[in-house]
Amino acid sequence: MKLPDIPFIVADWERAPRTEHPGLRGTSTWRMIESEGLRTRIVEYSAGFEADHWCPRGHVMCVLEGEVVLKLKDGREHRLTAGQGFLAGDDEANPHMAVSERGARVFLVD
């Protein structure tokens, strides 16, 4: 990963504005800090969350709390718990989506 030329930023997630994003089921709440096109987010998935789209964007994700099932459009699924995550580049051929039956809190970079 080549990071853009961004300034040094101290991330205070508690002060970052909260935005709510509905899924097919449940919601995800984001606290985001963005600079030069690089997004860093703390995302909270409600219990019963299911994303409303297949995402081809690359991510680095770490599960902080709870459990997330990462589904790939080709049928593969990966159950991720606290301390686990995934890395994926931008890939239109392998989109993914998140589902969380019990809720979760994750850190994402994209």
Side-chain-side CA neighbours of 91 within 13 Å: the count stands at 12
Closest CA to 45 of 59, 25, 73: 25
pTM of the prediction? 0.91
Closest CA to 104 of 72, 75, 70: 70
Model confidence pLDDT, tens digit, residues 18-69: 999 999 999 999 999 998 888 999 999 999 999 999 999 889 999 999 999 9
- Domains (ranges, CATH) in the chain? 30-109 (2.60.120.10)
3-state SS class at 34? strand
Q: Phi-psi region for residue 33, left (φ > 0), alpha (ψ -120 to 50) or beta?
A: beta
In whole numbers, what is the pLDDT of the chain averaged over residues? 93
